[in-house]
Structure 1
Amino acid sequence: MTWLRALGGTARAGVTIERTRLEPLVALRAAAGVATVVGLALWLVSPAYAASAAFGAFSAGTATFQRSWRPRKLIALGAGGSLALSTFLGYLAAGRTVTFVLLLALWAFVAGMSWAVGSTAGIVAAGTVAIMLVTVTLPTSVEQALEHAAVIAFGGVVQAALIVVFPIRRWGAHRDALADAFAAVADYARRLRHDPTAPFDPEAMMQARKAATLTPSQARRRPGFLHGPRGLAERVRPAVAALADPRVGAPAEGPQRDRARALLKATADILDAAARSIRRGTRAQVPPDVLEVLGTAPDDEVLRGPARQAAVQLTRLLHEVLATAHSGDTHARPGAAGEKSDPGLLVRPAMHRLAPVVLRTMRRELHRDSPVFRHAVRLAAVASLGWLLGTVLPLGHGYWAPIASVMVMRPDFHQTYARAVGRFAGTLVGVALATGVVQLAHPDAGLSGALAVLSAGLTYLLMRTGYMASQCFTAAYVVFLLGMGGETWHQTVRDRVTLTLVGGALAMLAYLLFPAWETPRLRDRLADHLAANGMYAAAVIEGFADPGGGHRANVRRQLLASREANAAWDESFGRAKKEPVRHRGLTRGEAEDAEEALRSVGRAAMLLETHLPESGAPPVPGAARFAEALTADTAKAARDVRERRNPDWRRVEEALEEWERADGGEDPVVRRGAELLVSALEDLATAVSRTPLEQDVESSRREREEQAESEEAERREEARRTKDRPRDAG
């Protein structure tokens, strides 16, 4: 992608309004928290303290809207505490420019590194940098700094208390994640009716697993209904795929295909009903004709062979789904998934045990090639430079430049540039609206506080509709808040618009000078994707070689690793397509072909997983040799992809030939699945392989580049020696 197209794409993304489900009650509760602390501070103390308290309550409320599976009240408390700490430390260092700049750079660097933990931590940490820049201008003594820090923390406490007192959709995010998983499988079953080899996006399954990873406290309180259904959705997915695929399931045409389509439609309807039941907390409502299809499926004489086997398994799973959904027990007593009663619980560290995990995660990112490390360096440099620049420029409120930079910067190019555009556009509109209101109404401190609370509520309401929309009312909120503190509108509008533009430009320039492009890492991501999918397929084949060997746990582990690698590849490739740089060793077309081939590998392994034998079944001849060859060739092929060599699947092909000779073609499912695997692996090799001519051209190009670099180095050295040589006095 060219720079012009990339910048145009980021500009459009920055001003795009997204259609999403609003949460008016949650927004109203968060706005009530801001109103509570502003009102109390105005009544009991002063407008300056009300501004500090409002900053804390607003930021803590904003933090609760970030995607996280921890309780929102803990996020509010954590945000309020970290905001208070940054305010106090910032004031202690604010007396000397050098000391404050060093503290600001260190704090911003740590905030940037917190992206290693996740986006929620990164966004909350960026807010602490912004609050350090603003509130250090309010206190005039250490005692006042402590008081301002306390009222900021109080804002977080109020938000947490409101979440406890007025809960809205308890476990709502977890319910939605589980419901989305069922809805994703339902959509998959519906698409399989028309496209038997349709792809499945595992993102909803991954989010459901993350939602099911609980702290010990959450495990004791989780409703019983959220405990088991996720496993059912996981098992239904390969069953519907095996039934629909004409290579290992129902034939492409004829009565079996018609019966398979009817069962797939019933599956989709049942899973949709289960999703609604989970999301709304009500009993599932399934049409009678759907239940009739499900009731006749076990005695169905139309389906035969592997298709019948898949249909029987699918029917059994759907009965389990109905038994769970019909109970309507979405408000079951807590403790059903407690730690002691559920040894398979997915455990998340409690907040007080999180520090060592965070430090280890950050330490792993402390290297030059890490996007998180490079983001932290950029953030530290831009925050410090922006603050110094804001103090030098003949404008008031110079902290707006570094605040704009800090709040828009992200570890990747597209989000940073899009948010910079969105922030400037939103700020321009928001300041213009707020300015008009101030000029017409001339509000006092009380009315300014009320307008600030209204703006905060609209920010919360539009938080997920696009960055520009939320920033519009955030800008208005700040103007009203500063007006409440006694600053007139003309002291903030022009300065803030100009400095916001400066801050956005600094953020863009920083990424340009010290980028973290995703494009050069595509081959590594592709190699990881290949390794994970190959090991998943090998684990499934091993289950046929040794049915009593307990391979199902290994299959599950490799499946999860495959999903993580697939998600990493999708994210990396999605970012790379928006970057104005090219990969010299992997074109976009090659990457798309390789991605399609790897999806076929994963699909073939999934189809085989459906037919894994139970313990005690006889081993499948040739499976052990094939699994061993697949494991070895996968490891070598991953290295080849990283090092730009052509992958070779010779051992896998030879093992398949031996397998065919060993069982005489009597296995209609397992060996057919192995053939699909080999075909997909060959497609992958074709996608990333280069002809000898292309390899020679690449080698010649590298030699020319190395020679040019050597000659350039010699010229620079000669120029340096000429410059350093003493001139003739004559």
Structure 2
Amino acid sequence: MSWRRALKEAGRSGLKIERRRLEPLIAIRAAIGLAAVIALALTISTPAAAASSAFGAYSAAIATFQRSWRPRPVLALVSGASLAVSTFVGYLVGTQGALFIVLLAAWTFLAGLAWSAGPTAGIIASSNVAIMLVTVTLPTDVLSAAGHAGMIALGGLVQAALIVLFPVRRWGAQRDALADALAAEADYARRLRQDPHAAFDSVHFMTARSAAAVSARQARRRPAELHGTRGLAERIRPVLASLADPSVGAPAEGPERDRAREILAAAASVLDASARAIRHGKPMVVPDTALAALRTPESGQVLTGPAHRSAVRLIALLRDVVETARGAGTTEETTTNDPAAPLLRPSLARLAPVVVRGMRKEATRRDSPIHRHALRVAVVATVGYLIGEVLPFGHGYWAPMASVMIMRPDFSQTYSRAIARFGGTLVGVALATAVVQLAHPGMYLSAALAALCAGLMYLLMRTGYAVAQVFVAAYVVFLLGMGGLQWTQTVPDRVILTLIGGLLAMASYALYPAWETPRLRTRLADWLTATGRYAAEVVSHYADPAGARRSDVRQALLAVREADVAWQEALARAANEPVRHRGLSRAAADDAAHALDRLGRVAMLMEAHLPERSTTPVPAAEAFSDALRRSTEEAAKAVRDRRVPQWDAVREALAAWDGEGVPDRVVRKGAGLVLTSLEEFSEALEPTDP
């Protein structure tokens, strides 16, 4: 992609407005918390202190809107406390000139490294730097700085208290994540009726798994319908695929195929009913037609062999779904086959050392996107601050603040946010200026208008970054106007310095990039390794049913999903980068991904028919499993080195298998399909003639 096209796509992405489900009650609650803090501060202190407390309450509310499964009050408290510390530390050296610049660079570098702990931590850390740049200009002495820091912490405390006292849709995020996974699986069942090889995106299951991780305290308070259903849905998916696939399930045509379609339709209805019940916290209502379809026909069993086994297992699992969704079924521990169940989320105290180790690791990896982002944002914030000090404006901190809030570890987000922030700022300050010119608001009316703009930002922030920035710009104008600053002292400064900050952010990525395109082969190799290990674990289970552990299969499957999502995210980022593919064209990437999807599907089909402990072992499966493990590890190295993988060892193991006899046709047929998928993967990476 050329730079011209990349900038055009970034502009479209940044200015795009999406239709999203709004949450007005949550937005109103956050705005009320902000207004209450401002009113209290104006009553007992100065407008400057009110501005400090407003920043704390505002940022604390922003933190609670992030995609995190931790309790929202905890996020608000952490945000408020960290902002208070940043402000106080910044003030202590704020008058020292060179020392403050050193602190700013170090603080910003650490904020950049915080992205290694996830987007929520990165956004909170970036807010700390941005607010520190603003609030250190407000106090006049150390005692006053401590008071300002306390007011900022109070803002976070108020937001947390409001969430506790006035909860809106308890466990709503967890309910939505689980319901989305069930609804996606219902759609998958319907698509399998027409396309037995339909693909399934596991991202909903991964999201639901993340949402299911709770603290020990949350585990005691979690609604009954959120226990166990995810584990059942995980077990249902391979059974659905095995029933529909003609190679190990119902034949492609005939009465058995018709019966399979009937069961798949009933499964979709049950899963949809479960999703609705969990999403809204209401009793589950399953259509009678679906329940009737799950009963054995009066004419007797239609399905035979592996298809019959899949149907029996599916019907039993669906009955468990009905019982679990009604709060009377199994628990998470008995349904996931996961040694880590129930999924317990570490406390912040236990998480802190893990985050520190992760940041230290990223700091030593000079080629990692996080390390490069930390360096970029530290340099840009420092340069922006110096430029702001040199220019004849009264609010030079707006340039580095805009840069810090714009910059992200990847190219597309950084450029799209830069364009969106400048466009939103222009519109926002224009609207706020018009209101100021017409209404001439005083201190209290300016405070009310600031709270109103913040509430609108909370309400519409998920519809697009440009929309949010319109109200952010107006919020800042009214907030500073509350302290007596005229619009002529804020609007021109903010527009020009925001433009400078955005240009610095964009230039930094162009000069010191962290392109994803050159890493695509590494991501593909990681996905190949994980998928090959998963298939090998499944096959080895047939070799030793009595000694195999299903938890190993489960852990291998989770690794495949993580690698798959990492590949998809990397491919999406690379698609918007102005960089040539460097040895892996988009067509080759698509074909290779299709082959790995097929490999994972074959392994999943075999997993659906894992033998019981008393089943006769298949000795040849062990040799095939070992060859598959070794070959995929060697193939992953070949992919990274831009060579075409070879599968001679897997081919020889399969030939030896045929000479020993095959007591289980499912695993032998699956092994053949595994080799076919691997060969398709190699064909996708074959160099093409120019």
Give the shorter-chain TM-score range: over 0.9
2:384 aligned to which of 383, 386, 407: 386
Residues 597 and 93 of structure 1, relative CA distance in 2, 3 Å threshold: same
* Residue 300 of structure 1, CA deviation: 5.0
Matches within 5 A, 1:223-242: 223-242=223-242
Bigger Cα displacement from structure 2, 512-521 vs 616-625: 616-625
What is the percentage of aligned positions where both structures have the same residue? 60
* Residue 430 of structure 1, CA deviation: 0.8
1:641-692 CA deviation, whole Å, 9 max, x = no partner? 111122110111111112222225x64321111111111000001111337x
Opposite residue 633 of structure 1, the aligned amino acid is: S
SS class of match (1:82): helix
Residues 522 and 430 of structure 1, relative CA distance in 2, 3 Å threshold: same
Contact 1:281 1:329 in 2 (8 A): no
Contact 2:56 2:156 in 1 (8 A): yes
1:387-432 CA deviation, whole Å, 9 max, x = no partner? 1101111223111111110001000000000011111111111111
Quote the Cα distance in structure 1 between the aligned partners of 2:414 and 2:181. Answer: 30
Residues 35 and 397 of structure 1, relative CA distance in 2, 3 Å threshold: same
Q: In the alignment, what sits opposite 2:263? A: 263
1:515 aligned to which of 506, 513, 522: 513
1:36 aligns with 2:36: yes
* Residue 386 of structure 1, CA deviation: 0.4
Q: In the alignment, what sits opposite 2:622? A: 624
Matches within 5 A, 1:362-373: 362-366=359-363, 367-373=365-371
Which consecutive unaligned segments of at least 5 residues does structure 1 have?
Answer: 695-730
Contact 2:333 2:342 in 1 (8 A): no
1:539 aligns with 2:555: no
* Residue 362 of structure 1, CA deviation: 1.1
* Residue 378 of structure 1, CA deviation: 0.5
Quote the Cα distance in structure 2 between the aligned partners of 1:215 and 1:381. Answer: 38
Quote the Cα distance in structure 2 between the aligned partners of 1:584 and 1:157. Answer: 51
Contact 2:212 2:343 in 1 (8 A): yes
Quote the Cα distance in structure 2 between the aligned partners of 1:217 and 1:376. Answer: 35
Opposite residue 677 of structure 2, the aligned amino acid is: A
* TM-score (normalised: structure 2): 0.97
1:459 aligns with 2:457: yes
SS class of match (1:183): helix
Bigger Cα displacement from structure 2, 272-281 vs 582-591: 582-591
Contact 2:227 2:324 in 1 (8 A): no
1:624-645 CA deviation, whole Å, 9 max, x = no partner? 1111111111111111111112
Residues 171 and 235 of structure 1, relative CA distance in 2, 3 Å threshold: same
Residues 86 and 374 of structure 1, relative CA distance in 2, 3 Å threshold: same
Matches within 5 A, 1:305-454: 305-327=305-327, 344-366=341-363, 367-454=365-452
Quote the Cα distance in structure 2 between the aligned partners of 1:360 and 1:124. Answer: 19
Q: In the alignment, what sits opposite 1:206? A: 206
Quote the Cα distance in structure 2 between the aligned partners of 1:624 and 1:648. Answer: 20
SS class of match (2:463): coil
Q: In the alignment, what sits opposite 1:678? A: 675
SS class of match (1:619): coil
SS class of match (1:455): helix
Contact 2:333 2:341 in 1 (8 A): no
* Residue 345 of structure 1, CA deviation: 2.0
Q: In the alignment, what sits opposite 2:493? A: 495
Q: In the alignment, what sits opposite 1:476? A: 474
Q: In the alignment, what sits opposite 1:549? A: 547
Quote the Cα distance in structure 1 between the aligned partners of 2:431 and 2:255. Answer: 65
* TM-score (normalised: structure 1): 0.92
Matches within 5 A, 1:110-121: 110-121=110-121
Q: In the alignment, what sits opposite 2:147? A: 147
Quote the Cα distance in structure 1 between the aligned partners of 2:661 and 2:309. Answer: 21
SS class of match (2:659): helix
SS class of match (1:394): coil
Opposite residue 352 of structure 2, the aligned amino acid is: A
Contact 2:323 2:329 in 1 (8 A): no
* Residue 299 of structure 1, CA deviation: 8.1
1:120-161 CA deviation, whole Å, 9 max, x = no partner? 000010000000110111111111100000000000000000
Residues 584 and 225 of structure 1, relative CA distance in 2, 3 Å threshold: same
Opposite residue 229 of structure 1, the aligned amino acid is: T
Contact 2:224 2:327 in 1 (8 A): no
Opposite residue 319 of structure 1, the aligned amino acid is: R
Contact 2:225 2:327 in 1 (8 A): no
Q: How many residues align?
A: 685
Quote the Cα distance in structure 1 between the aligned partners of 2:329 and 2:543. Answer: 41
Quote the Cα distance in structure 1 between the aligned partners of 2:534 and 2:350. Answer: 33
Quote the Cα distance in structure 2 between the aligned partners of 1:531 and 1:441. Answer: 65
Quote the Cα distance in structure 2 between the aligned partners of 1:669 and 1:52. Answer: 67
1:171-205 CA deviation, whole Å, 9 max, x = no partner? 11111111111111111111111111111111011
Residues 492 and 33 of structure 1, relative CA distance in 2, 3 Å threshold: same
* Residue 622 of structure 1, CA deviation: 1.7
1:213-264 CA deviation, whole Å, 9 max, x = no partner? 2223322332332221111000010010001111211112222112111111
Residues 343 and 467 of structure 1, relative CA distance in 2, 3 Å threshold: closer
Which consecutive unaligned segments of at least 5 residues does structure 2 have?
Answer: none
Residues 469 and 300 of structure 1, relative CA distance in 2, 3 Å threshold: farther
Bigger Cα displacement from structure 2, 148-157 vs 682-691: 682-691
Quote the Cα distance in structure 2 between the aligned partners of 1:210 and 1:689. Answer: 38
* Residue 588 of structure 1, CA deviation: 1.1
1:222 aligns with 2:214: no
Q: In the alignment, what sits opposite 1:615? A: 613
2:640 aligned to which of 632, 639, 642: 642
Residues 389 and 186 of structure 1, relative CA distance in 2, 3 Å threshold: same
Matches within 5 A, 1:19-58: 19-58=19-58
Quote the Cα distance in structure 2 between the aligned partners of 1:509 and 1:251. Answer: 59
1:270-328 CA deviation, whole Å, 9 max, x = no partner? 10110111111111111111111012369852212211111111111001111122448
